């Protein structure tokens, strides 16, 4: 994911390094960074409610932590690539506000990618791999 701030384009970093940095900064376990929930479904499989199993920073204080996590994501990406980083948290907040806030597409996509980096994609079906031993009939 990329974002443009102050006329410069930045790449968001999604990795175990980012997750470790968030744990270190906020002094919490990985489940407390994101939060853990499960959907409660009716007999037909329709989601009727969501049960929060572990309160996380993102689902408890999304207005604070969404921009902060984005800030750290691009900061670490620049640090690892040895590129200059001249973005403030206010720059990120202004960017998010111009993109629809934390309910906008960018923030939602960021949070989804962050969650995927922790737990993987739900319902992801692995691709079949060819072993090279298959025979045509």
Give me 121's structure tokens.
Answer: 């994609």
- Hey, where are the domains in the chain? 2-40+47-119
Give me 41's structure tokens.
Answer: 């479904």
- Taking residue 70's Cβ as centre, other Cβ atoms within 10 Å add up to 26
pTM comes to: 0.74
Q: Per residue of the chain (137 residues), give pLDDT as tens.
A: 898 998 999 999 988 888 889 889 988 887 788 777 667 778 888 877 666 666 688 888 889 999 999 999 999 999 999 999 999 999 999 999 999 999 999 999 998 888 888 776 653 433 433 344 444 44
Residue 35 — left, alpha, or beta (φ > 0 → left; ψ -120 to 50 → alpha)?
left
Name the burial class of residue 19, with classes exposed (0-12), middle (13-18) and buried (19+) by CB atoms within 10 angstroms of its CB.
middle
């Amino acid at each position: 994911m990329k974002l443009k701030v102050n006329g410069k384009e930045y790449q968001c970093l999604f990795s175990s390094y980012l997750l470790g940095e968030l744990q270190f900064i906020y002094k919490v376990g990985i489940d407390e960074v994101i939060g853990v929930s499960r959907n409660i479904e009716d007999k037909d499989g329709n989601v009727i409610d969501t049960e929060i199993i572990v309160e996380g920073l993102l689902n408890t204080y999304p207005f604070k932590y969404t921009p902060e996590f984005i800030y750290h994501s691009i900061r670490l990406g620049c640090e690892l690539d040895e590129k200059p980083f001249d973005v403030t948290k206010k720059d990120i907040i202004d960017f998010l506000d111009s993109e629809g806030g934390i309910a906008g597409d960018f923030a939602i996509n960021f949070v989804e990618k962050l969650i995927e980096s922790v737990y993987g994609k739900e319902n992801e079906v692995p691709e079949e791999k060819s072993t090279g031993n298959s025979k045509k009939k």
